Amino acid sequence: MRTSPMLPTGLSVRHPRDGSPVYFTVTDSRRHDLGDDLRIALIRWVRLHHQTVASSRCTTADLLAHAGTTPSVPVAATRHIAELAVLALFFVENNLPWLDELPNQSDFLAWFQRHKRPAPADSTVRLLRRAWSVMRAQSAIHNECPWPSLDLRKPRLQLEAADVIGTFAANPLKRLLDTLLHDGAHVAAVQVPDMIVSHEAGLIAALAAAVPPAIQALTESGRTDLRPAVYQLKLSDLGQLAVSPALALARPTGRLRFERRATMPNVKRATQTTPDQGNALALPDASLILDQEQT
């Protein structure tokens, strides 16, 4: 039997000799096989856990069943299943069999922050809203989705930019960014605004000094997508992020790490520019690679 970080607690998988996965759960010392499709297994798992009976009321398992088929693109498929697994665990852990008893979004977000889940909160909310819309279009339900839309893309991008800048920042900016990115949200909400008031001039100067090396590192690593966010980040943005309820949900996962690695384009250029050196290969200068190391 194997476990997966994507599977909710209580749902397991085994791999017979043919290699195909078989998902199952155990209740009352009895094993229930849930099939070889993880999406279907999650739906069956929720239904089994709640032991729902025939009723005109829509269930949370019905909602999962209307969340769409698993995409064919591997990355999209992994993301879809991760979001589905988060919702399934939320419904089971909180004993939510009925859709008309769905709690407020704030309750879900509070629960989400207590769990390290493999899917972002905002994309999971979007999945629930899409499934709700499908059920409403089919007249299975008639009321609007009680969860409002949630978009954490802007604060997430700003916090990623702050993470990059923090690698090159001097105090007091480095201390402020460490508080913003790593301390408890309630601590950041108090300390970051106080630090901005007390050290505004020094923070502005440190931010201006840290941006150029951060931009250079992003360029050399190929992460040009983050350059605009680094350029545009202001001290006032950091203050707003510190007091935002989105802070804990939008923080980058893992730890930022810069590595030096030889890249294939540089190897190709080296071989093209040194044709007369026989079989000797002139190794290129390593370039910076930026990634997120999961903790």
Q: How many C-beta atoms lie closer than 10 Å to residue 132's C-beta?
A: 23
Cα separation, 210 vs 63, in Å, equals 47
Domain match, 174 and 238 both: yes
Residue ending a domain, among 137, 164, 188, is: 137
Is residue 260 within 8 Å of 189, Cβ to Cβ?
A: no
DSSP the chain: -B--TTSPTT-EEE--TT---EEEEEETTEEEEEES-HHHHHHHHHHHHHT--S-SS-BHHHHHHTS-PPPSSHHHHHHHHHHHHHHHHHHHHTT--BGGG---HHHHHHHHHTS--SS-HHHHHHHHHHHHHHHHHTTS--SPPSSPP---HHHHHHHHHHHHHHTTPPTTHHHHHHHHHHS-HHHHHHHHHHHHHHSHHHHHHHHHHHHHHHHHHHHHHT-GGGHHHHHH--HHHHHHHHH-TTHHHHSPSSEEEEEEE--HHHHHHHHHH-TTSTT---PPPPEEEEEEE--
Q: What is the pLDDT of residue 134?
A: 92
pLDDT of residue 277: 46
**Does 232 have pLDDT greater than 90?**
yes
Say if residue 155's pLDDT is above 50: yes
Residue 224 lies in a domain: yes
* pLDDT score of 276 more than 50: no
> Could you say which of 137, 167, 186 is where a domain stops?
137
Peptide bond into 172 cis (omega under 30): yes
68 domain-assigned: yes
| Pair 106, 176 in one domain | no
Residue 105 lies in a domain: yes
Does residue 258 surpass a pLDDT of 90?
Answer: no
Residue 248 falls within a domain, yes or no? yes
Q: In this structure, are 128 and 182 located in the same domain?
A: no
Write down the pTM of the prediction: 0.63
Six token digits for residue 201? 């001039």
Q: Do both 107 and 187 map to the same domain?
A: no
Considering 89, 109, 137, which residue would you say is the last residue of a domain? 137
Kindly report the CA angle at 118 between 21 and 74, in degrees rounded to 5?
Answer: 55
Please tell me whether residues 266 and 288 are part of one structural domain: yes
What is the pLDDT at residue 259? Answer: 54
Mean pLDDT of the chain: 82
The model's pLDDT over 177-193, given as tens digits with 9 standing for 90+, comes to 999 998 888 899 999 99
Residue 111 inside a domain? The answer is yes
User: Same structural domain for residues 179 and 114?
Assistant: no
User: Residue 224: is it exposed, middle or buried by C-beta count within 10 angstroms (0-12/13-18/19+)?
Assistant: exposed
Q: What is the pLDDT of residue 38?
A: 85
Evaluate whether residue 145 is within a structural domain.
no
Per the structure, the complete domain to which residue 270 belongs is given by: 259-293
In terms of domains, do 19 and 119 share one? yes
Q: Pick from 291, 227, 223, 288: which is nearest to 257 by CA?
A: 291
Between the two ends of the chain, the Cα-to-Cα distance in Å is 25
Q: Is there a domain that residue 86 lies in?
A: yes
Q: Does 98 lie in the same domain as 48?
A: yes
pLDDT bracket for residue 287 (50, 70, 90): very low
Q: Give the Cα-Cα-Cα angle 247, 106, 157 (nearest 5 degrees).
A: 25
Give 293's pLDDT tier (boundaries 50, 70, 90): very low
Residue 291 has pLDDT above 90, yes or no: no
Kindly state the tokens that stand for 237: 């943005």
Domain count, the chain: 3
CA angle 72, 76, 81 (to 5 degrees): 95
- 247 and 268 in a single domain? The answer is no
118 within a domain of the structure (yes/no):
yes
pLDDT in tens, 86-134: 999 999 999 999 998 999 999 999 899 887 777 889 999 999 999 999 9
* 263 in the same domain as 244: no
Same domain for 106 and 38:
yes
Specify whether 105 is located in the same domain as 51. yes
Query: Among residues 238, 222, 220, 246, which one has the least CA distance to residue 169?
Result: 238
The percentage of the chain sitting over the pLDDT mark of 90, rounded to a whole number, equals 44
